[in-house]
Amino acid sequence: MSIRTPMHLVVAVVAATLLPAVPAAAAPAPPPGTTGTSSFLIGPASPAARRGVAPDPGRLADDLAAVGRATGQRLTVARVLATGDLLVRADRSLAPATTAAVLDRLRRRADVGWAAPEARLRADATPDDTRWTDQWDLHDPLGGVYAEPAWDTGADGAGVTVAVLDTGVTRHRDLAAHLVPGYDFVSSAADARDGDGRDPDATDQGDWTEPGDCGDRFRPSSWHGTHVAGTIAAGRDNGTGIAGLAPGARIQPVRVLGRCGGSTADLVDAIAWASGGNVPGVPENPTPARVLNLSLGAPGACDPATQAAVDGAVARGVTVVVSAGNAGADAADYTPASCAGVVTVAASTLTGERAGYSNRGTDVDLAAPGGDQEHGVLSTVDTGTTVAEGDGYAAYAGTSMAAPHVAAAAALLLSRRPDLTPAELTGLLTRTARPTARPDECRCGAGVLDVDLALRAATGDAGDTTRLLLQVGVRPGDPTVDRAGVHLAGTLGRLGTGLPDWDPAALPMRRVDPTGPYRTVLTVPSGTELEYKYALGDWAHVEQDYTDSDAGCFDIANRRLTADAAGTVQVVRDLTGSFRGVWPCDR
């Protein structure tokens, strides 16, 4: 088997109850080629190859033999990729110095446009469904994507195929009815675990590792692809388990990850095949996808072969959604997150903030629920530690969990507007995202996915709706408010007409962190004047002093304790403001 550079996981693949702390800024893995390498990608200098006319591998055989003799290795062309690039393998793992020498010799050839070590990819971590209440990522007003109002329009993703390029998918009872034939692109029979390498069976065989495999300790199977697929299209209103965000969509499992991860060459071919392109030696895809989900990644900028595969998919009208990565670093330093033309997704939490582990930066387009160690994203898995044993559900956290929310949102939009191009889809998703309270700190693109507003914009039904982020800040050193918390209370009225009062318990304000502000999201008519009141729960009868900062945003300083006769809620401030579809509190 090939031994290639190990990559960061882009998902913490354990149940939320067992989820270890995710470092806010994990140290990045070594760049490709700095550890043992036995395979390389070569891009021919000929422009014809980039147009899909593959060069004759035999023409490079003598060149590779010469390079091999000069470096003491045996180098052979393993195969031509769908993009016209070549996969070259050495007969053994090369030391870093030898790897550098091989690359130097290859790059000096007139018939070689580029050469790089092949990167080893890793997985980036009110229906009647029985676990619906646990799916905060779909329905929570502060951290969710507003699935229910989107479903109320009749959109469910029907007629749209989403390809999940991952570890494969099991025939989980919440997924089986939504699967269409896929393909297993894991070329290493040992890593594929099905004994025959590439084949039409994209079932997840388990990706557990034994001690010593890939330099790892024992790790149980993640069933990562099944988890991703469930977030996209698990059955809704079937009386069991969870609901997918696009429950009418079809899932095409495309297996690119196995034991010890996966290879860039396999991913390149899989992107081409899933999007309707041709791959040498592989049957044509009878049901090409309109959306690809890539919850995986590796350190390093997007390489030319992966970029060419993405370009081909986009040219065929396919939207490519990828996870930003879990290193708490700049997404520009990770692939395929840094590829041009993809939709790069960061992870957000229950409070609507970027998760500390999530990559960030200008390459990120938007965020979506990825969860954290306390509140993960619940989805479908298998219960087996190694091989499949039975259907189950687990909460995972990671940008791997964020990306499928966006892929599912794209499916919902395409089910209503099949004419949308990838660029138009991306524009709709980013233009309607909910900005975070501190976008400069978040660096997570346009904000958090709001599938309801995106669908309204796509269908021309913008309606009279916007979402307000209401924030109550508590200064450091002030007494904490941790008994009843802070709730909105009193009345919300549309001036002149009046809207009904609403139950303050329906919109509890949540603490972003133990010392941070309280926030909630309120859906209100756009372009109207709103009169609302902040109120504090019955938590020690604290009298407040206020400093206005931005419209609709207060800093609260607890000054002294008082007592009122009833010992109940105090209405502390009235405010009238005018909002024109923007968030009044932007810090």
Comparing 44 with 32, which gets the higher pLDDT? 44
Which has the minimum average pLDDT: 106-110, 130-134, 340-344, 582-586?
582-586
What count of Cα atoms within 13 Å lies in the side-chain half-sphere of residue 323? 38
> What does the alpha-carbon distance between residue 493 and residue 467 come to, in Å, rounded to a whole number?
15
Least confident of 320-324, 458-462, 535-539: 535-539
482 has pLDDT over 70: no
Ranked by mean pLDDT, the top range of 208-217, 303-312, 478-487 is 303-312
Lowest-pLDDT range, 13-22, 102-111, 204-213, 444-453? 13-22
Exposure string (b/e) for 233-261, b if CB count within 10 Å is 16 or more?
A: bbbbebeebbbbbbbbbbbbbbbbbbbbb
Query: 185-194 as b/e, with b when 16 or more CB fall inside 10 Å?
Result: bbbbeebbbb
Q: Tell me: pLDDT of 8 over 80.
A: no
Lowest-confidence region among 88-92, 336-340, 418-422: 88-92
* pLDDT reading at 331 higher than 90: yes
Q: Which of 264-273, 367-376, 561-570 has the lowest mean pLDDT?
A: 561-570
pLDDT at 56 over 60: no
pLDDT digits (tens, 9 = 90+) for 566-584: 322 222 332 323 222 223 3
Average pLDDT, integer, range 428-441: 80
Mean predicted confidence (pLDDT) in 13-36:
31
pLDDT level of residue 95 (50, 70, 90 thresholds): confident
Look at 457 and 412; give whichever has higher pLDDT: 412
**Higher pLDDT pick, 286 / 126:** 286
Q: Looking at the DSSP assignment, which residues form a beta bridge with residue 94?
A: 37
For residue 354, the 8-state DSSP code is: B
Q: Which residues contact 517 (CB under 8 A, 6 or more apart)?
A: 437, 471, 472, 473, 474, 511
| pLDDT band with cut points at 50, 70 and 90 for residue 173 | very high
Average pLDDT over residues 143-150: 89
Q: 518 falls in which pLDDT band (50, 70, 90)?
A: low
* Most confident of the following: 6-20, 219-233, 499-513: 219-233
Starting at the earlier edge strand, list the strands of the sheet with 86-94: 75-80, 86-94, 37-44, 112-117
- What is the pLDDT at residue 464? 52
The per-residue pLDDT for range 277-296, each reduced to its tens digit, is 999 999 999 999 999 999 99
Task: Report pLDDT digits (tens) over 191-200.
Answer: 888 877 799 9
pTM over 0.85: no
pLDDT above 60 for 33: no
Active-site residue list: 166, 224, 400
Output the average pLDDT for the chain.
75
